[in-house]
Structure 1
Amino acid sequence: MLVASTLGTTVEYYDFTLYATTSALVFGPVFFTAAEPIVGVLAGFATFFVGYLARPVGGLIFGHFGDRLGRKNILVITMLMMGLGTFAIGLLPGYAQIGVWAPILLVLIRLIQGLGMGGEYGGGVLMALEYSPKAREGLFTSIVHIGTPAGVLIPTAFVTILDATLPAGSYQEWAWRIPFLASILLIAVGVYIRLRVTESPEFVAAREQKELTKVPLAEVLRNYSGRLVLSILAKIAESGLFNVYYVVAIALVTVEQGQDRGPILTAILIGVAVEIFTLPLFGALSDKIGRRKVYIGGAIFQVLLAVPFFLLISSGSFAMLTIAMVLAFGLGHGSMYGAQAALFANLYPVPVRYTGLSATQQIGATLGGGLSPLLGSALIAAVGGSWHLVVIYVLVVAAVSSFAAAGLKAGESHHEDSVQPTVAA
């Protein structure tokens, strides 16, 4: 069960990372026309954001059916939508071949992927949560989140190896397609495993006791809207700052500062590799001292890290780049992400949990992770390549998420279904 859920998260972030990396390095000249390199990067990130816009819609659609029909079959559908979309991008002709149809088709593929990604997270986390011992929900759900750094590690390593071993210019011309096409192998394994997993025991019990509701979203809005709003705001920093450390940092270092892409990609590889090990540690810690304490602590750490992070990555030193990425991913993002799933999922009772968690995750991710590459690059361009305005963005979203998470008392324990929302609905 944990393997199936983690593989789904891996496929989701394989797509996310590969698309984000290629947007920063390649997609401008391949799919768009632009006089300045940063304009092409912005166009690629705008398409990246289109996929995020579809995620809340997908979350609500698949959340509804996941709460009505069960978690398992929905997760097979969402994995296929995400994975086949990634494969299709690898086959897509560029602007030089089909003109304006290239960016149009890219947007359509991203929309389909976004719908699938919107339904993926909630079901994967709930399968882990609803199978786990109550006292170890933080640990079990944090293991599912290992799929995120793994999904970053695999394509980043792929891109780094291709860029280092092929003749100069090959990656930009044609080799960028190889990681997209190779994703079909990961999808095949993931679908096979998911087809063999049985349905969530908590969902089965709720169905047998006739506790399911006809319109889960209406129930969430009627009884849990306060929790929904707070959790969306709490999500923004985790998702948004992850993309600052990854997408915005790559664009800043390579496009604006003219540094080689190899060192920063390698530093990111090391940082996310460290997070693979820190995620379950923070998840287990959240079982001991509480989800909110760990989550808020991670947000505060990232406030303190904001200026040092950009100073480190601007230094031109590989050692400084590596320290920055280990601190950002291993500690900053890892602490928030390790506690997040159990915190957010426990805000909602079983009959509406898929819908509620998906709405929290996908709306929060769209406002945070979807916007941060576009906003970050625009802020950098607005001040002539400087990162100072991006620091203000980091500080604001981290502060907002900290205050919002402080109100999520209902997510601390497993069965808080009878507790009223901390904020009036």
Structure 2
Amino acid sequence: MAATTKANSRKATVAGAIGNFIEWFDYSIYGFMAVTISTVFFPGDDPTAALLATFGVFALPVITRPLGGVVFARFGDRIGRKKTLALVLILMSASTGAIGLIPSYATIGVTAPILLILARIVQGFSAGGEYAGGAALIAESVPAKRRGLMVSLMPSSTGLGLLAGSLFSFVLAGALTADQLQSWGWRVGFLVAIPLGLVGLYIRLRLEETSAFQELAESDELASSPVKETLRTQLGNVGKVAGIALGQTVCYYVVLVYTPTFLRTELGYSPSDSLIATSLAIAVYVVTIPVAGHLSDRIGRKPLLFAGSVAMLVLIFPTFLIMEGASLPLIATLQVLAGGLALGCYTGPLVCTWVELFPTRVRYTGVSLGFNLSVIASVSSPFVLTWLISTTGSDLMPAWYVAIAVAISLLTLFVVPETAPAKGGHDHITPAADDEEATTPGRAGS
């Protein structure tokens, strides 16, 4: 029994993380290839206008992602985590692969950007159900004493997908000429989503449903209307999730997704140099997250959340002030400190805090609503910042944008309770059996 529990915990962690990896690999490809994509789908005499159009399409999840979050959250709390996450992955992989197959504007005219918009709508819609579902799946499948570490692998897989996209873009930029990159090279990253999605789907379909959800289903205690129940009984916790998520999501998009474009278009660095600096920061981010998640199992979630948010506030202005005219090693160091260490410290315990705030019957819905609210401000950040910089002429706009978001998260932390079981936090999640024990899962929170 213990071996089975341990094996299922590992499978659940991989199943939860793999979809997240695929999502962010493809999101990052779009972000890192934004300048190239702008010339393929939005040609014109004004490169800023083309880039704004590209980032405008990138920001479509502002509308579609929250909607997808509501739809899939209802499925996740009604029919189960496993089936919902399988459907999410099918839609995500298909829509992402479709982007790589769309002909250019030069080939089919205005139909090209229209098809790109449609693919991004479906992609954003499916992504709305991925993060909350994967986090709930892992949290309900692992031992309570290691939950911070194991759930932290969700955001770590986000960084890993971003790192893979960054390195992939770096290799393409170095191996191909500008003409090759524009004619076909940019498509490769999107087409890779199809085989990756098939692997992820196979893993998810072989997974068992979580015992917490199964017990609610067997006792006929599933929420009949998860969204209504969440808004009626958990609205405060939804707001807390949105508040503490805002700083993380905005800093993530600005420092780790948008900065390569900023370095290239505003400061004149080559595509390869800008991707090198960002890739180093992402690598540190990926490693820092599970370290912080593990520490949160011992000392609590909130100390690390406070430390990370304060560090982000302290570092963000020096990062963008010093970038202009700085050497590449110095730029990389600044990104590592702000986007790697500080953001990683904050992110490590963050997602586990979200899932521990909600009872099982509305966990998927509660996390999805709160997280996707924060995405509204973060996904649109490349578009907003490109417009703000072109309008104001100030290269400090990214720093101000991040600082305001992080300040909101820091203030929200004061009303968020400590959720770590080791520190006396109220545990809504049925603890899975410890590795060395063979126990029958207890009653799920309701």
> Common fold, TM-score beyond 0.5?
yes
Match status 1:206 vs 2:216: yes
| Structure-1 residue corresponding to 2:136 | 126
Correspondence for 1:396: 404
Amino acid in structure 2 at the alignment position of 1:162: L
2:200 maps to which of 182, 185, 190 = 190
Extract structure 1 runs of 4+ deviating beyond 6 A. Answer: none
What residue is the counterpart of 1:20 in the other structure?
31
* In 2, Cα distance between equivalents of 1:54 and 1:404: 26
How much has 1:215 moved relative to structure 2? 0.3
Residue identity matched to 1:30: V
The TM-score with structure 2 as length reference comes to: 0.89
Aligned-partner Cα distance in 2 for 1:294–1:206: 33
- Distance in 1 (CA, whole Å) between partners of 2:350 and 2:165 is 24
CA distance in 2, matches of 1:129, 1:318: 40
Return the offset for 1:387: 1.4
Equivalent-residue separation in structure 2 for 1:34 and 1:303 (angstroms): 38
Structure 1: gaps of 5 or more residues? 419-425
Residue of structure 2 aligned with 1:215, choices 213, 221, 225 = 225
Q: Which amino acid aligns with 1:324?
A: L
Matches of 1:195 and 1:389, distance apart in 2? 45
Partner of 2:379: 370
Mapping of residues 383-422 of structure 1, within 5 Å = 383-384=392-393, 386-409=394-417, 411-413=419-421, 415-417=426-428
Equivalent pair of 1:264/1:321 in contact (CA under 8 Å): no
Does structure 2 retain, via aligned residues, the 8 Å contact 1:299–1:402?
A: yes
CA contact (8 A) 2:301 2:418 kept: no
**Native 8 Å contact 2:88 2:130 kept in 1:** yes
Q: Distance in 1 between matches of 2:40 and 2:175?
A: 21
Q: Is the 8 A contact 1:56 1:118 kept in 2?
A: yes
Specify the alignment match of 1:423 in structure 2. none
The answer to whether the 8 Å contact 1:59/1:362 transfers is yes
Identity %: 34
Residue 410 of structure 1, CA deviation: 6.2
Other-structure match for 2:127: 117
Q: Give the SS at the match of 1:198.
A: coil
| Residue 6 (1) aligns with residue 14 (2) | no
From 318, 323, 328, the counterpart of 2:338: 328
User: Which residue does the alignment assign to 1:242?
Assistant: 252
Give yes or no for contact 1:346–1:410 (8 Å, CA) kept in 2. Answer: no
Counterparts of 1:227 and 1:262, CA distance in 2: 42
Q: Matches of residues 78-89 of structure 1 in structure 2 within 5 Å?
A: 78-89=88-99
Give TM-score scaled by structure 1 length. 0.94
Distance in 2, matches of 1:246 and 1:143, equals 18
Q: Deviations over 1:162-220 (max 9, x none)?
A: 11112343212321111111222211211111111111111112212222110011111
Equivalent residues of 1:307, 1:391 under 8 A apart: yes
Contact 2:167–2:279, Cα closer than 8 Å, also in 1: yes
